[in-house]
Amino acid sequence: MSIHPSAMVAAGAVVPASCTVGPFCTIGPEVVLGEECRLISHVVLDGRTRLGARNVVYPFASIGVAPQDLKYKGEPTETVLGDDNTIRESVTISRGTVGGGGVTKLGSHNLLMTCVHIGHDSIVGSHCILANAATLAGHVTIEDYVTLGAFCPVHQHCVVGAHAFIGGGTIVTQDVLPFSLTSAKRENRAFGINKIGLQRKGFSAERLQTLQKAYRYLLAAKMNTTQALEKMRELEGEDVALLAAFIERSQRGVIK
């Protein structure tokens, strides 16, 4: 086991021998690390926090810290991370609250760039990129394969759909459509599918064409959302079904 002499590891913490704990790291008594995790230096892991395998955490990141919620009174809530995540400098991830479900979750294979904040009770999927200073207020859900640009704040209870790409500086106050490109440069509007990103992930030309038809109904045709959904149901494929279901269950409305 490689633990720097200046690190503070509390009794009760679980740190496998394959892990590396760098200088001036602080690990609380209820923290559990998976195999081959690396804490570079000055990392704080607090509360009931569980990391999966092969996570790399850079200096001054704080994971599992108390939520920024005045209603929180020290209840034993949790923070759970999956495998193979890269947590860059000064990232903060708050533990959950009783009122919000009690847990903040991050999936696997994510990149959280410098100064990202994940607020209490937020759920982030897998294969996501959150660029510098992207911030999630409490109770946010980010689905799989999302790219969230730099300096993007996401309002409480918003949902960002799978494969969405959100341009830097976009203020997100409603749900973001799956597969979409959304940008502040277009007045915080969705303006089509994330074609390049979807191609890179192996989407076939046929799948892209079907999604483009669905988005034309939704964004370009002179239809309201209900009418667009009726036309979308005529199209075949799981992608369109996922898109339609996302719209139907949205609580905050979607960015169009």
Query: What's the rounded Cα separation, in Å, for the pair 95 and 78?
Result: 5
The 10 Å CB-count burial string (b at 16+, else e) for 197-209 is bbeeeebeeebbe
Strands 147-148 and 165-166 come out as parallel
Query: Maximum Cα–Cα distance for the chain, whole Å?
Result: 66
The residues that are catalytic are 120-121, 138
Burial class (CB in 10 A: 0-12, 13-18, 19+), 56: middle
Coil vs helix vs strand at 207: helix
